[in-house]
Amino acid sequence: MLSRVADGLYWMARYLERAEHTARLIEVQLNLMLDQSAYSADQRWRRILASLGDPKLTTEARDAQSLTYALIFDRTCRSSIVAAIVAARENSRQVRQQISSEMWEQLNRLFHQVRRADLEEGWDPQPHDFLLDIHEGCHLFQGITDGTMSHNEGWQFIQIGRHMERVMATSKLLDTHYREFENDEQAHLEWIGLLRSCTAFEAYCKYYTADVRPDRVAEFLLLNEEFPHTIRFAVDHLEAALQALPDSDGRCVRVGRLAGRLKASLSFAQSDEIMSQGFNSYLHSIQQQCEQIDSALRQAYIDYPIESALTA
Amino acid sequence: MPANPLPPPFRQYELDDAYDEMFAPDQAVRAHYDTLHQRLLETPVEEMRRRKQAADVAFLHQGITFTVYGRDEGIEKIFPNDLLPRIITQTEWSKIEQGLAQRIVALNLFLKDIYHEGKILSDGIVPREMIYSCKHYRRQMKGLDVPKDVYITVVGTDLIRHPDGRYLVLEDNLRVPSGVSYMLTGRQVMKRVFPELFRACSVKPIEEYPQALLQTLRNLAPHGRTDPTIVLLTPGVFNSAYFEHTYLARQMGIELVEGRDLVVNDNILYMRTTAGLRRVDVIYRRIDDDFIDPLAFRADSILGVPGLFNVYREGNVTLCNALGNGIADDKAVYAYVPAIIKYYLGEDPILHNVETFLCSNPTHLSYVLENLDKLVVKAVGESGGYGMLIGPHSTKEQQEDFRRKILDDPRNYIAQPTLMLSRAPCYIDGQVEARHIDLRPYILYDGKKVTTVPGGLTRVALRKGSLVVNSSQGGGSKDTWVLHDKE
């Protein structure tokens, strides 16, 4: 497979995962704003924006409505839904002959849905239905991808992109929450909000009952191995997809080692040890390791120097 | 106008001096259109509408698009397709086929000669300055040997039908002809929409084109490369024919690459894959000469591959079509094609040219200047309907403007009589009406064998009265049926 194509599939998946993540954050935020809480909506927005890490976005001189609008429709903002979907579509256009027609059609549909909503006048400041459509559209795309594309190398690159984005997004979100509410008994609603932002509320309740406690939420989102939106789950799948890449000449030894180490460290981690050593720094180290995996992946498959490939 | 109005749904059908594909001048239906004509009379309006809808939906879903330049997104348009097939008899087709084969072989010999000894120039058949003044002449190709001496691999020749019924060659497209994907996908749709008509007419199949193209490319691999890697080189998603590039690559099962996927090392060409560098042997290139290698041609090109031309010169990669072919489909050189055929093959041309006046010839020039209001004047280096004066539809100022331009640079202009393209039945808003059409057959050549798919792309000017068949200007396409001879 062409390196450019592998890269395109990887980014297509990452951007779609990003669109879905942003949609969920907005949805939860709008929902929380309806409840009385000890915490101002303003702080919450600040936290969301910090977790998205987009330098263009600040809460200054912006009300909830304009922030919501920006996070959905502002193309210049990297993590907005529309920017992510446009980028995903551009990437898929580059690799059009590698993905199934059904995938292309679904992504196109999603793109037109967002564009249409932007063109409508009198846009609804509580766009629950619209956000729901985005979720469903992204889920449908994943289902179509699994059902209509060969589970070959290209498919593995899609899995890698998706889970990479998920690890990064979830760990940043968890990071900003934990920093603020680690020892706060009042923050009950905020922790529920965090779980919902990862669609993990129900799964958490089944595991720990509805007794929402900060250390348990943190542990669940970090270490639970069964729920798809936890960091551990995503890392496991990331590692599995990397292992599944064809490797005839040992080019992926380094990337395999990095991913294997991260996976092992999460598999054998003890939550009390992590907490005592500093939860936030543990999350940072995960992010760093993911960045290393990403760059090792590029060096092995995409941007490798010609000389090394010729001597191999 | 006809003496008797035709029955519905032909009420609006125009018949005049133009050759009509379905009706003879006396309004009798030509034999090979009988089945279709009968079907059109019998099929209820609603039923036709339903089939038209089915065809449109099929085109939409297959994403058969072309790109319109100038907007940042949503730039793909659905390619308009007419519901009714254009029908050609086996007898007519055999003659077209022979004529095209003759022309391709002669033009290929011409290119080899031009880039080697230049005998045809020494013998004074084609003027030397005409070649060296052509902007598509590539001095880099001088003395370079291409595999099996094949310059022209893929051709899409434009034919029109004269009012007297003869097919004439309007243009030889020997560089990067496009449109074959519309021919192939259009056929798929028609089969779905009119299965019973297909059976009744015994239409020759065209589906083998991608396979034939692949085989042709394979036959032209550099010497000693027995299992060649073949790729299709595209300028990228923003090219107007990107749909076609992806379609053909998929149909042939080859990689669709962009310039940035390819690297040159030690005069070998590679593509960058996830499994490392893989050697590339044959490129079906859909990028113009100028952009193919910034080191050899336009330095500002970011679409091409630095060093590719050196690999080509070393014979380590085959480019199809070869570079520098533009010299043979230059609009002024076109006038010499009959002489070229005679010179190399000793035969008379089977397919004739449209009468052409060269402004570089003083006698022709004075005739052209006197008749600017009747002729079509074309700049030789332009294509796609640019740089053209259509005499009968022009103003005095436009004519004066062209007079100055012609006198400034006579070599750059030719003139032809205003041509009445033939007309064929089209399904327009529930009626069957006549529209002007041309024909672009697709021809493949590997040095031994000329392969022509029966039919080709019929382009149609969907606007009433229009003679412009370009898709960017309201043109569409039609499925083209060549019939088996009836037993």
Could you tell me if B292 and B392 lie in one domain?
A: no
Asked if B274 lies within 8 A of A97 by C-beta distance, the reply is no
Same domain, yes or no, for B326 and B365?
no
Instruction: Please identify among residues 42-71 of chain B the ones whose CB lies closer than 8 Å to any CB of chain A.
Output: 61-63
Tokens of B401: 């403007």
- The sign of the dihedral angle between the CA atoms of B182, B438, B463, B434 is negative
Identify all chain B residues contacting A83, using CB atoms and an 8 Å cutoff: none
Q: Do A4 and B260 touch (CB under 8 A)?
A: yes
B302 and B176, same domain (yes or no): yes
* CATH number for the domain harbouring residue B377: 3.30.1490.270
Residue B338 sits in a domain of what CATH number?
3.40.50.11290
Question: Could you report the predicted ipTM of this complex, rounded to two decimals?
Answer: 0.81
Q: Is residue B463 part of a domain?
A: no
Residues of chain A with Cβ-Cβ distance to B237 below 8 Å are: 90, 93-94, 96
DSSP states of B182-248:
HHHHHHHHHHHH-HHHHHHHTBPP-TTHHHHHHHHHHHTSPTT-SS--EEEE---TTSTTHHHHHHH
Average pLDDT on A202-217 reads 90
The pair of structure tokens assigned to A32 is 């929380």
Burial class, A77, CB count within 10 angstroms (exposed 0-12 / middle 13-18 / buried 19+): buried
Same domain, B394 and B326: no
Residue B287, C-beta contacts closer than 8 angstroms, at least 6 positions apart = B176, B233, B234, B235, B259, B303, B304
CB A72 within 8 A of CB A84: no
Q: What does the pLDDT look like over B280-302, one tens digit per residue?
A: 999 999 999 999 999 989 888 88
Best to test chain A binding among B257, B267, B272, B274 (most A CBs inside 10 Å): B274
When divided into structural domains, chain B yields a total of 2
Q: Is the Cβ pair A97, B263 closer than 8 Å?
A: no
Give domain status of residue B55, yes or no: no
* B279/A contact by beta carbon, under 8 A: no
Amino acid at B201: C
Cβ pair A3:B265 closer than 8 A: no
Number of domains in chain A: 1
Interchain contact, B250 vs A93, CB within 8 Å:
no
pLDDT digits (tens, 9 = 90+) for B62-117: 766 665 554 444 456 677 899 999 999 999 999 999 999 999 999 999 999 999 99
pLDDT computed for residue B70 by the predictor: 44
Q: pLDDT (tens digit, 9 = 90+) per residue, A154-209?
A: 999 999 999 999 999 999 999 998 988 877 777 888 899 999 999 999 999 999 98
| Any domain includes B288 | yes
pLDDT value, residue A234:
97
B-chain residue closest to A102, CA distance: B61
The pTM score is 0.87
Is B72 an 8 Å CB contact of chain A? no
Residues 85-124 of A with CB under 8 A from B: 86, 90, 93-94, 96-97, 101, 104-105, 115
Residues B156, B235 within the same domain: yes
Closest CA of chain A from B114, distance in Å:
38
Closest CA relative to residue B108, chosen from B381, B454, B341, B451: B341
Q: Is residue B285 part of a domain?
A: yes
Six-digit token string for A308 = 């090394």
Judgement on whether residues B164 and B221 belong to the same structural domain of the protein: yes
**pLDDT given for residue B318 in this prediction:** 97
Q: Please tell me which residue of chain A has the smallest CA distance to B257.
A: A2
Give pLDDT, residue A37: 66
Q: Indicate whether B4 belongs to any domain.
A: no
Q: What is the DSSP pairing of strand B86-88 with strand B154-156?
A: unpaired
- Give alpha helix (H) positions in A182-230: 188-197, 201-208, 214-223
Please check whether residues B317 and B370 belong to one and the same domain: no
Q: Which of B364, B384, B417 is the last residue of a domain?
A: B417
> How far is A122 from chain B, CA to nearest CA, in Å?
24
Same-domain pairing of B239 and B278: yes
Residue B8 lies in a domain: no
- B195 exposed, middle or buried (CB, 10 Å; 0-12, 13-18, 19+)? exposed
* One domain for residues B164 and B276: yes
Is B312 in the same domain as B364?
Answer: no
**CB B79 within 8 Å of CB B66:** yes
- Clarify whether residues B326 and B386 are in a common domain: no
Residue B256 has its nearest CB partner, among A97, A304, A306, at A97
Question: CB neighbours of B95 closer than 8 A, spacing ≥ 6?
Answer: B167, B350, B351
Q: Are residues B340 and B413 in the same domain?
A: no
Residue B254 within any structural domain of the chain: yes
Domain that holds residue B283: 90-182+204-345
In the predicted model, residues of chain B with pLDDT beneath 70 are 1-4, 63-77, 381-386, 471-472, 486-487
Q: Touching check for A251 and chain B: CB below 8 Å?
A: yes
B302's CB contacts (< 8 A; 6+ apart) are B259, B294
Q: In degrees rounded to 5, what are phi and psi of residue B30?
A: -65, 145
From residue B282, alpha-carbon distances to A160, A211, B176, B315 in Å are: 33, 66, 15, 11
CA dihedral angle for residue B182, residue B188, residue B191, residue B192, rounded to 10 degrees = -120
> Which domain does A84 fall in, by range?
3-311
Close Cβ partners of B391 (under 8 Å, ≥ 6 residues apart): B371, B372, B373, B374, B375, B376, B377, B399, B418
Residue-wise pLDDT for B121-172, tens only, equals 999 999 998 898 888 999 999 999 999 999 999 999 999 999 999 999 999 9
DSSP 3-state of B334? helix
For residue B1, what pLDDT is reported? 46
- Rounded CA-CA distance B16/B163 in Å is 10
Q: What phi-psi label fits residue A199: left (phi over 0), alpha (psi between -120 and 50 degrees) or beta?
A: left
Residue type at B227 in one-letter notation: D
CB B245 within 8 A of CB B239: yes
| Contact (CB, 8 A) for A9 and A95 | yes
**Chain A interface includes B278 (CB < 8 A):** no
